[in-house]
A and B are shown apart, each in its own frame.
Chain A
Amino acid sequence: MAIPAPDPLHQHGLPTAGIRRRLASLLYRRQTLLLLLLLTPPLLWFGVVYLGSLLALLMQSFYTFDDFTMAVTPELTLANFRAIADPANPLFGANIDIVLRTLGMAAAVTVACALIAFPIAYYMARYARGWQKGFFYIAVMAPMWASYIVKAYSWTVILAKGGIVYWLVQALGLNAVLEAVLSLPVVGGSSLSTSNLGRFMVFTYIWLPFMILPIQAALERVPLSLLQASSDLGARPAQTFRTVMLPLAFPGVVAGSIFTFSLTLGDFIVPQLVGPSGLFIGNYVYTMQGAVGNIPMAAAFTVVPVLLISLYLALARRLGAFDAL
């Protein structure tokens, strides 16, 4: 029996022709080259555009602004930071007010979002099946499909006197309760739409999906057998929740709270539309770099949320929030 001669193109039974095939095997053999090709563009983007601009911002926060000529000179100074952090500085009082006002709101919104989001996320992760799951996903995310400005504006109407909330309160005969709440200091105001309570409600509504989704993802990853093991070892449901469920879901809560916290810290639209007068960090930055042209001061204020978030993360780490990761 004749043995056919090996095809020169198909030695070892492997087709070697074709530039694409040769490229593929080159990249397969040199995985570092592949990694380099894949990572260089996004790293360049991230490094230059993202980190670069952040560094430029940090740099400019040390520049000097001349109040009389309104000119920015690249002479390095700590004056901008002193105006925020040094109690002896004449501007400190007004500036720290802005920081504390924003910080207080961001903290309150984050806590409220976490409290509201957890049960919803819990239900989505543990109980919703089939169409319910899809329904919940869409229900949680649908508000994010609408324009942020439209939502913020519609809330001014919802919360205004004669709006739907007032109508509902009246229909339920709870006028006195609303009046009492609005007469509280800090929280209240002349109407819901001009009170901190109203602003708080709008923020909580707008950022809620950013809290629900990470918590839901974290809860989804907790294996059922862990909860059963806890129960099997004698833990009542509340104990299982506290010692197993919550610690394992906590990275999700932290992730969500970074969203809600930093989004509130940087927002300048909602404070403008809803709630009492008094600037937020975002408004102040907007005014400083826009109307006033004091870019260094705006930059210094922008560093504040970055510092606050870093502090928050360090604290969360200390509390063991990432132990389950």
Chain B
Amino acid sequence: MIYLDNSATTKPKKEVMDTFIKANEDYYGNPASLHKLGNTAENLLESARRQIAKELQMQHVVFTSGGTEANNLAILGTAQAYAHRGRHIITAVTEHPSVLKSVDQLEARGFEITRLPVDPSGSIDLDHLKTSLRNDTILVTLMQVNNETGAVHPVSEFKEILQGTRTFLHIDAVQGIGKIRMRTEDMPDLLTISAHKIHGLKGSGVLAFNDVQPEAIVIGGGQESGYRSGTVPVPQAAAFAKALRLARPNPEWGLWNKTLREFFGQFEDIKVISPESAAPHILSAAMKGVKGEILVSALQEESIIVSTSSACSSKNKETSHVIKAMGVPAAYQSGVIRLSFGAYTTEQDIAAFQHAFKKVHAIIKGV
């Protein structure tokens, strides 16, 4: 089996699993307990937290149940905490549902939301961002790398635009962390990352932040300095720290990406959707007049695992909001497949994909 769906999720690394198992076996105490076992678990938790904070160059790290909860906390929590300053939030139409649904909910509560459109390359117009900013804009929330197309947003330019304002910048870096480098000076006020996209475990996310105090949305025993209640899963935290430490981009992704773009270029009825400037580890393409699901299952017959535009949206029948927003021609809209690379992807996988795709394409065309 050749797994090219690493943006949906990744296979946990052996080292990460080892950490997880050892932490469960040896440090299973509740970090809030007073006894030694609790104390050691707390020390492990805080070491993991420090390591992640250092890796990200951010001050605060709060462990969550995943990227979705981290995004919810960043947006709902910041909105709640700073509503006295203003009730306007800016985002883009191509964001992840965990962002879009959060702002929808705020809109229903009386916040004003600006949803910036994107051009065919998936980019927002920076001038449009500038002119949308108002005195009462409390938050700009945008993703670093789009999960469906790999389109990259220029975080450093967002930062520059927001400089001197009191507007917080939240970046959803779930698809970008460990894949494309982020400079320390580009770190936003709030940053979402998720473990299972970097060969860590599912159910484990982080919201990192600097000089901002979002209000908790999961409330109870006041764990995580009150930012996120619930017994903290120390083994997940430790495994996350390990996964993040081991995560690094593979320079070959760019080469494979180029190879595949050229490969798709040979077919008249295939259109590469990912913009030229997209992140190297995600490549989406569409076949004219054919449903993505058909390609996915046909490729699976050949032991190649890819997905339609995104794993989250692949189960509902509607066309992806990202694909629509980028103005992909109608004939291609439902034929999108996404390939995404991870640490275990090899050159042979890329070659095997091409071989299988040729075969699948011929079969579908022959029908």
To the question of whether A and B form a pair in one complex, the answer is no
Which A residues are within 8 Å of any B CB, using their own CB?
none
